[in-house]
Amino acid sequence: MQYLLQDAGFILIVDDNPTNLSVLSQALKSAGFTIRIAEDGESAISLVSRKPPALILLDIQMPGISGFEVCQQLKSNPLTQNIPIIFMTALADTESKIKGLSLGAVDYIAKPFEQEEVIARVRIHLQLKLLNNQLEQQVKERTETLEKAQLQIVQQEKMSMLGQLVAGVAHEINNPIGCICGNMNPIKEYITDITQILQVCQENESYLPDNVRNTIASCDLEFIIEDLPKLLNSIKLSTERIKGISISLRNFARADTSAKVAVDLHEGIDGTLLILGHRIKASSQRPDIEIIKQYNQLPKVECYPGQINQVFMNILANAIDAIDENWQHNKLDNNSLTIKINTEISNYQYVTIRITDNGMGMSEVVQNRVFEQFFTTKPMGQGTGLGLAIAYQIIVEKHNGKLAVNSTPGQGTEFVITLPI
């Protein structure tokens, strides 16, 4: 413990009496402590502000400002308030003791003092301070760990809820779509048959009874026969699109795996864009956002696909927010609204995904803080300040990747995700 205590720093002795100073200094030095001295209150305060000591032995009655005042000033400054102060004085009355302790001193030594006692008390208080520092450090570390764990729980919960919702929707539309797709071919065959019958009727119109001929004449049969296959075709294309959406939704939902798997990142980006589709399309507030995909060939990447999708989701949602905000304030009509997504391999070792928007951009101050937990510039209820903190944790800690931001205020922002292959 002696080693640790000496390590804690120096001890400042403040006393106007040279004899006291030298006796105390000698005693503490021979006990292994490093000593500095001040002969009045003002120089003590200026010395402390330059280099804070581990502990202060403070005389009360001195010319100039008193020990009580020195104590008060040090305790009111956040930088010096935690330095332990022990008063030393000939004033042995209870009132002075109480005053000293109520000002925040940790202890009180009456003059004339026993050297052994002073050394013992100094040791105890240094030790207490050290233990206190260690405790504070531990609390800080545990709070950080807890906050990280909490973020992970929030993130997992959010993703698994979204996954369940998406899986539910995909499941619900699957049956009716299956029914429509399955009936498409028989309908086509039936319609071909019926069309044939109608054509025969048309060719032999003169043999038909009047009422049948009149009914045929009253509807534009030729047009119907020509238009019906076109309608059927476009219904078929639409149902196939819905089927594709349903498959993407199921892939997105299934991405919530507990082990790493090799996946096609483009599928993840496309699934995420699909889910954000309603926010990308034009609204009463602004026109469509154009998504420019510059996909290069990528190998499958080992990852937790659900988490990676969440990163895409958080970054893309922010890009849409930034474009919305920019449009609301600037409405530049010659400026189309775009989100560019570029993917490529670098050095055969990494996959790089760049997501670039031409939204409002951000200042350097904001850029430096975007990955901080709870940092948001959005109004209450709209921003949580968790999106990018979660993204950072997923990319950097879970996948050993990198997440960087480049931005120019008023012009736009680029997020660069790098993942090892």
Ligand X SMILES: Nc1ncnc2c1ncn2[C@@H]1O[C@H](COP(=O)(O)OP(=O)(O)O)[C@@H](O)[C@H]1O
**Binding stretches for ligand X (CB under 6 A):** 314, 318-319, 322, 357, 359-362, 366, 370, 375-378, 383-389, 413
Residue 295 or 375: which CB sits closer to ligand X?
375
For residue 268 the two structure tokens come to: 């993840």
User: To which residue do tokens 């106007």 refer?
Assistant: 16
DSSP string, 45-62: HHHHHHS--SEEEEESS-
- For residue 370, the partner it binds in Mg ion, ligand X, none, with Cβ less than 5 to 8 A by kind, is ligand X
Report the residue number, 302 or 414, with the smaller CB distance to Mg ion.
414
Q: Which CB atom, from 198 or from 317, has the smaller least distance to Mg ion?
A: 317
Closest approach of ligand X to the CB of residue 303, in Å: 20
Beta carbon of residue 401, minimum distance to Mg ion (angstroms, whole number)? 19
| Beta strands 290-295 and 107-110, pairing class | unpaired
> What would the x/- binding string for Mg ion be over residues 382 to 411, using CB under 5 A?
-----x------------------------
In sequence order, the 6+-apart residues with CB closer than 8 A to the CB of 362 are 370, 377, 407, 409, 413
User: What does R_g of the chain's alpha carbons equal in angstroms?
Assistant: 39
Distance between CA atoms of residues 303 and 258, nearest Å: 10
Closer of 306 and 387 to Mg ion (Cβ): 387
Name which of 6 and 338 has its Cβ closer to ligand X.
338
Which residue matches tokens 């096609």? 264
Residue 376, contacted partner among ligand X, Mg ion, none, CB below 5-8 A by kind: ligand X
Cα of 12 vs its chain's centroid, Å: 45
Q: How far is the CB of 413 from ligand X (least distance, A)?
A: 4
What is the C-alpha to C-alpha distance for residues 417 and 352, in angstroms, rounded to an integer?
A: 6
Nearest-CB residue for Mg ion: 387
Q: Which of 130, 131, 132 is nearest to 54 (CA)?
A: 130
Cβ-based nearer residue to ligand X, 13 or 353: 353
Give the x-and-dash track for 315-344 against Mg ion (CB under 5 A): ---x--------------------------
CA angle 273, 275, 281 (to 5 degrees): 70
Choose among ligand X, Mg ion, none what residue 311 binds, the Cβ cut-off being 5 to 8 Å by kind: none
CB 170 within 8 A of CB 250: yes
319 touches which of ligand X, Mg ion, none (CB within 5 to 8 A by kind)?
A: ligand X
Residue 339 interacts with which of Mg ion, ligand X, none, CB < 5 to 8 Å by class: none
Asked if 155 interacts with Mg ion (CB under 5 A), we say no
Residue 32 gets the label, from left (phi > 0), alpha (psi -120 to 50) or beta, of: left
Beta bridge partners of residue 59, listed in sequence order:
88
Binding site for Mg ion (CB under 5 A): 318, 387
